[in-house]
Amino acid sequence: MQQDYDLLIAGGGLAGSCLALALKDTGLRMAIVEANTREQLYASPSGDRALALADGTVKMLEALGIWQGIRQAATAIKTIHISDRGHFGKARLSAQKENVDALGYVISARDIETHVARLASEANIELICPARVVGLMSGDNAIHVSLKHGDESFSLSAKLLIGADGGSSSVRKLLDISQKVTEYGQTALVTMVKTSVPHNNTAYERFTASGPLALLPVGNNECAVVWTRTDEDAKALMAGSEKDFLSELQDCFGYRLGELALAAPRRAFPLSLIRAEKMVSGRAVIIGNAAHQLHPVAGQGFNLGLRDVVVLAEMLIQQHGDIQDIGAADFLNRYAKARQKDHDLVVGFTDNVVRIFSNDWLAPALIRNIGLTLLDHIPAAKALLARQAMGLAGRMPRLGRRR
């Protein structure tokens, strides 16, 4: 291990590893600092969660050389069916009508995480693990980063530190960046079910009085379940038997996919919106969940994080190519400015979906049902929603078109 780097990336999750891969051919001296060992990361129950990847995300993963190795493990979403339990509104988005192969894809987080980690190791990207970032000091020419590895402490320096260390980011705290936290009082229950009726590559998003329920197609006859319930309900559903869980799930979703049977353990993820007040401080920048941890209702977290990665990688490649300082304040501020609008849009969109669709008061119920009915009848509005779902609403970063 050397002492002095161009770039240190704190966090070897999806955002951190994808950024390292995007920069692997630049000649930048870089390392990832990860708190867990690879074995711990692969064994983590949180890897069971299914991610819905927007079509725009898939194009970026393709450009990064990642998609080619995981495409086999992913299931295409050809139709999205949105409905409101007990009310009249529904909307349907179709890949065929939007003239695309798929509106998005479903894949387990573990499948992407293990593949990305393998690519990083094959590309000889230095991984310092298990080690935690525990201290920082940003100076004029470098940032000094203190690490803890078991009982041992050591320090490294870099021109730039990237905080990609997730929703509870230590880098964000050490930089004294304040955060806005919205507690929804909700927990996502995640599992897999077998369905007796084929899903035909349809993703279902069903809004219910107790919270949204998503069934995402996996393989031929399985669906990944992301079921948002109040914290209290979720606790009871996790503590109860699998039979009771399944019966309530079936009651909530109905029989559109026939009989459901549990095909994986149940996992619970408490939900909150965490938004950092800013992305940059001194010679450090935070990306991915460290900058914005979202409710999974609209499946936007990693999609948004990957756009951080791609925009930052593009800008770093340019800055490094121009032999300019990659930790310079004006450069980092330009990055923050480039990402602000996308963050505002996606955070606002997701937060509104949670608020409008998570209660059964008459007014919101009426508004969302009229909205869904109108949406289903106005092709332009549907195309716009489909573009948002596919992650194509914003500018497509150049990195995605490079090769």
Ligand X SMILES: Cc1cc2nc3c(=O)[nH]c(=O)nc-3n(C[C@H](O)[C@H](O)[C@H](O)COP(=O)(O)OP(=O)(O)OC[C@H]3O[C@@H](n4cnc5c(N)ncnc54)[C@H](O)[C@@H]3O)c2cc1C
The answer to the question of residue 397 lying near ligand X (CB under 6 A) is no
CA dist 294 and 272 (Å) reads 7
The answer to the question of residue 104 lying near ligand X (CB under 6 A) is no
Residue 118 CB, nearest approach to ligand X (Å): 15
Q: 192-216 b/e with 16+ CB inside 10 Å = b?
A: bbbbeeebebbbbbbbbebbbbbbb
CA dist 395 and 398 (Å) reads 9
Determine the 3-state secondary structure of 87 from DSSP: coil
**The tokens 């909307």 sit on which residue?**
91
The answer to the question of residue 282 lying near ligand X (CB under 6 A) is no
Interface with ligand X by CB under 6 A: which range of 46-54, 94-102, 119-127, 239-247? 46-54
Residue 365 CB, nearest approach to ligand X (Å): 25
- Phi–psi pair at 265, nearest 5 degrees: -65, 160
CA dist 280 and 181 (Å) reads 18
The answer to the question of residue 74 lying near ligand X (CB under 6 A) is no
CA dist 379 and 118 (Å) reads 43
Interacting positions 215-254 with ligand X (CB under 6 A): 226
Residue 72 CB, nearest approach to ligand X (Å): 19
Choice between 52 and 276, CB closer to ligand X = 52
Interface with ligand X by CB under 6 A: which range of 35-43, 201-209, 343-351, 377-385? 35-43
The answer to the question of residue 300 lying near ligand X (CB under 6 A) is yes
Nearest to 328 by CA among 137, 141, 135, 136: 141
Q: Which of 8, 23, 30, 33: binder of ligand X (CB under 6 A)?
A: 33
Residue 254 CB, nearest approach to ligand X (Å): 22
The answer to the question of residue 302 lying near ligand X (CB under 6 A) is yes
Residue 189 CB, nearest approach to ligand X (Å): 9
Q: Which of 36, 201, 221, 359: binder of ligand X (CB under 6 A)?
A: 36
Q: Which of 30, 190, 257, 274: binder of ligand X (CB under 6 A)?
A: 190
Choice between 84 and 165, CB closer to ligand X = 165
Token pair in block for residue 60:
């970026």
DSSP-derived secondary structure for 277-332: S-SEETTEEE-GGGTEE--GGG--HHHHHHHHHHHHHHHHHHHHHTT--TT-HHHH
Please state the length of the chain. 403
Q: Which of 89, 166, 327, 400: binder of ligand X (CB under 6 A)?
A: 166
The answer to the question of residue 63 lying near ligand X (CB under 6 A) is no
Choice between 142 and 188, CB closer to ligand X = 188
Token pair in block for residue 202:
């349809």
Size of the site for ligand X (CB under 6 A): 35
The answer to the question of residue 372 lying near ligand X (CB under 6 A) is no
**CB closest to ligand X, residue no:** 13
Token pair in block for residue 312:
């930052």
- By the 8 A CB rule, do 45 and 52 touch? no
| Contacts of 379 by beta carbon, 8 Å cutoff, 6+ apart | none
CA dist 288 and 300 (Å) reads 11
**The tokens 């209290």 sit on which residue?**
232
Interface with ligand X by CB under 6 A: which range of 79-87, 164-172, 179-187, 201-209? 164-172
The answer to the question of residue 174 lying near ligand X (CB under 6 A) is no
The answer to the question of residue 89 lying near ligand X (CB under 6 A) is no
